[in-house]
Amino acid sequence: MELRPWQEAPERDGVLLMAPHELSAGRRAEVLRSVRWSWVHLTSAGADFIDLAEWPADTLLTRSWRCYAAPLAEYALHAVLTHEWRRGTPWQERDTRSAPAPDAPPVPAGASTGGGTGLWGAEVTVAGWGAVGQRLATVLDALGARVTVLRRSPEPGSPFRQTSDLGRALDADHLVVALPLTAGTRHLFDRAALGRARPGLHLVNVSRAAIVDQEALTELCAAGRLFATLDVTDPEPLPTGHPLRSLPTVRLSPHVAWRSRDSDAAFADDFATIWAALADSDPSAAPDPSAAAGSSADPHSSHAPGIAHAPGISDASAPGVPAPAVPVPGAPAPGVPVPAVPAPGAPAPAVPMPAVPAPSAPAPDARALDAVIPGLVPPTSGRRARAAVRALLTPGRS
């Protein structure tokens, strides 16, 4: 397949891979308005870069919903453990203890192990139940933490305690924010909510800064009432003299929680999975709920061998709109072309597609497609995207 810059895309039915965080708002708007895209795939896990109210319903919009779950969960776990052991580690370069008296016990009563208390028995709230929240809750539970999940609509049968009550969510030792930024989550943790939090709460944000009232959080951390580990701030980076930079109760990182050994082009795995789902699924068929329940939970698995991974594409985004479990689609046949991805700084690539008449079958609504097309961001139907992908896979088309 020939890879082209977006400026060379056909007037309709192109597929665009876009790293939204690497473009200004004006540039993003220019790219999206340039042609009539059939499908736009975001390398980010969040879709808050896009004005969904103005999005054309017949242009498929998908996100990289799974590939950053492991590194984000690992970052959050590291933040929680670092806070637990903030007064010192239990090990030393060498044993500096003096020799005990002949009749002394080997470990004196009240001996400190370093000041940390550990996760066993700790109360941890995970806000959000997307790929990151699910992975993190499982890991924390395995280490003995008492996990509560903050969700809009708790579902029966979950192995974890669930709540939709902010007060209950903030009554914890740690709160990990792994929510998408939407109109409903902006400043969800506002001044009033944070003021009711358990004293000493440690807030970890791996999502978007705007979900938390940053000014209120700064004041409460300055007063010693709260602690925070923030991978996201507003703005990024913070001004040189911003108090969050110097507070002893706050740890900052430069929006790198998503990064791991394979993360630079990990979004290509998610793109390939969606590509295969588009190619294999029947646009008029209803999804099979039983198949959707048995999906892979591995955020790095690739079900489309042969996709080009070009190192250097970065993603500084956070978890996006939570998607339900999806069936693992069959891998495309060897030799099926899949778009490559350009190096950093290159224009967002467009994969030119031939114009194909839309199928006659009516397109199902976005909710029905969600179990078929992973990473789908409503309100989109995917009808033209399916036709474009199938046309590309037709022998003789390129």
Contact present, 222 and 199 (Cβ < 8 Å): no
Return the bridge partners of 350, or none: 4, 16
Round to whole Å and give the CA distance between 178 and 186. Answer: 13
Dihedral over Cα of 21, 27, 30, 34: its sign:
negative
208 catalytic per annotation: yes
Round to whole Å and give the CA distance between 297 and 290. Answer: 16
Q: Residue 299's closest CA among 105, 135, 124?
A: 135
Burial class (CB in 10 A: 0-12, 13-18, 19+), 189: buried
Number of residues assigned to the chain? 398
**Cis before 379 (ω within 30):** yes
Q: Residue 270's closest CA among 282, 283, 258?
A: 258
What Rg value do the Cα atoms of the chain yield, rounded? 24
The alpha carbon of 92 is separated from its chain's Cα centroid by a whole number of angstroms, namely 36
Contact present, 269 and 319 (Cβ < 8 Å): no
Which one from 63, 208, 251, 384 is the annotated catalytic residue?
208
255 catalytic per annotation: yes
41 catalytic per annotation: no
Round to whole Å and give the CA distance between 16 and 4. Answer: 10
Q: Tokens representing 384?
A: 């033209």
Contact present, 286 and 14 (Cβ < 8 Å): no
Round to whole Å and give the CA distance between 145 and 139. Answer: 9
Contact present, 57 and 37 (Cβ < 8 Å): no
Q: Residue 211's closest CA among 249, 158, 259, 175?
A: 175
Which one from 152, 236, 367, 397 is the annotated catalytic residue?
236
Which one from 41, 63, 151, 255 is the annotated catalytic residue?
255
Block residue for tokens 């199928």: 359
Give the active site residues: 208, 236, 255
